[in-house]
Amino acid sequence: MSEILTVRIQHYTRAMLVAIAGVVFAGDQLTKALVVRSIPRHAIVTVIPHFLNLTDTSNPGAAFGLFSQSTSPWRSAVLIAVSVALLVVVIAVVLRSRGLQWEAGVALSLIIGGAASNLTDRIHNGKVTDFLDFHIGNFHWFTFNLADSAIVVGALILVLYLMTGE
């Protein structure tokens, strides 16, 4: 009986993890599409003065604009290959893990959903759409998107879990 319960919980957990990744993916793709349709390129829409703007920008490089200034014809191909490889590794970890704790599963699902969405942008457009522009005074954080947020939150949860968990 306990084996049946364990199998059902594992399937439920995997379904839940797929749902989390799917919601992140869909939410990110939807918000990017809304921004591209609604905000002129590089225009700034103030949401909260002196704190949050929306803008339609793109990043042909990696996180935090790394390699965005590179003129190499291989830039997109290398970034796509690295993204695919890392995504495959994370998915393999989830699929091979038995009894994955929910914290780690949620963290990995957030990472998978965000990485898959940014990878989709990179494959279709050669760049990733970013639109969230947070700033305090003259300090501006790098413009990012919901997928980036999911990846960062997932990574933080995973690090905290690894530092405090089993």
Spatial contact of 100 and 18, defined as CB atoms under 8 Å apart: no
Catalytic residue among 28, 56, 130, 133: 130
Domain count, the chain: 1
Please give the pLDDT value at position 68: 59
Active-site residue, 130 included: yes
Predicted TM-score (pTM) of this structure: 0.84
Q: Which helix (H) or strand (E) holds 12?
A: helix 2-38
Name the residue range of residue 61's domain: 2-164
Residues in the chain: 166
Please give the pLDDT value at position 134: 94
**How is residue 135 written in tokens?**
């700033």
Please give the pLDDT value at position 93: 83
How far is Cα 157 from Cα 106, in angstroms, rounded to an integer? 8
Catalytic residue among 56, 121, 133, 148: 148
CA quadruple 36, 40, 41, 46: dihedral sign: negative
Q: Per-residue pLDDT tens, the chain, 166 aa: give them.
A: 455 544 444 555 778 889 999 999 999 999 999 999 999 998 999 999 999 999 999 886 666 655 555 566 666 777 788 889 989 998 888 888 777 788 888 999 999 999 999 999 999 988 899 999 999 988 988 889 999 999 999 999 999 988 986 5
**How is residue 104 written in tokens?**
């780690």
